Structure 1
Amino acid sequence: MRNFIKYPSLKLKPRRDYCVPVGPSFRFAWKRRIYLLGSRLEFRAPGHASAPNTWSHKAGPVSHSHEGAGFRSCRLMPGEGWEEAPLFGRTWDFYGSWFVGNVARVSCYGTVLRPKNLEKPLNFLHPRAFESAVLGYLTAQWGHEVDEDDGTPYQKAPINWRPVKDMPVPAVIFDIRKTKSLGGSNSRMLFFPISTDRVVRFSFSFKQYCTGPLEDEDSKSAPSPCWS
């Protein structure tokens, strides 16, 4: 649990020195259970813990049936080539020591994804088709987000692509890093298929509340607690 004496949510002074934020503990977090097309997914996640008087996202856990109820077009995707159904959502704020207040935020989203209007059938349980689906989704969701002035993408991905070997289906984890301080986001993504045409995505997006250039953010607030 967070040390409520040294790391309170109250902000009574500005942050001037390097900060290592502290947030909820995953070690003693509640076990969550979601049923996905007859299979069971279990994981630990802390309770919703956002700072007072701030907007945050909370959802689920929601199981996913064969009927696939709850699908909608993916947000912010121009071509609407993919649909999503929500599974889980939580927000966790991280605090600095001795009344510095909220210095970072991690948002967790879990969704089931499926493509719309496939030209030919694919089997996402096959590793190559699964990787193509993940890369296609990334391009469709964020490939259009570029700086209007110089054409630089707001985000760079995938970074640190690595397979998850202890799952019974193909699975991959990778990072997304923003390239500009005023656009994009830093995220860690987990993808795995649950059927021939459906993929699960869990994203952990974090934001550091810092001012100044992008290259100075990590020197003011440590990103490691949000990535762990």
Structure 2
Amino acid sequence: MDEAGDSAPDEVLDAGPGRRAPTRTCIVTRVAQAPEGMIRFVRGPDCAVVPDLRGKLPGRGAWVSARRDAVAAAVKKNLFSRAFKGPAQAGPDLPDRIAAGLREDLRQAIALANKAGCVVAGFSKVEAAIGGAPGVAAVIHAAEASPDGRRKIVAALLRRHGDAISRIPIVDDLSEDELDMALGRDHVIHAALVAGAGTNGCLSRWRRLRSFEGAAAATEEPDPARTGRIG
């Protein structure tokens, strides 16, 4: 990745993964924030702007708030070229590429949680896990899940948690095919995370994807369109 001498001021570019400051400055908003709420970008040998979702790629990096609209603004205003003080090619598909990368991170996290025994799949098993001990840490629906199936899961959550249902995240950002791939089985429509190794990392990746897309996460009241409580 780019390590040329055309560097920007220290408050814009970092010095590489080995020298990380506690805060970085977004090249769009010019606001300093913790790296956890941002996305790092480096410039490749071909001058292409590469998202460094895990913050480990070599070379000097520019940072953008981890939101789709912020990345789109950086592309539209040619802010990567200004930050790197040289050619930096970032196409309009960059936000979509980042979203795809975050979805892949979430899929891999679910796969790891599954290997650790922290995922149950199938409507009956999910319903039983909700009512059993210790309960579920999150409910997972395929994006194609029917409103009827969602309503029944919500009913089980309400029986167990009552008004505290909003504490249970509803993860429905992945397709049936993506869940099938993550869990190594066919036709996964409903699943759930139970407490254990990998659960927190999985939810952290989910929240990052939701935040990037500007959507609600686990601390908000369930969205009727997502839970199936329509009408």
Give the TM-score, by structure 1 length: 0.26
Structure exhibiting the larger radius of gyration computed from Cα positions: 2
Higher helix residue share: 2
Higher strand residue share: 1
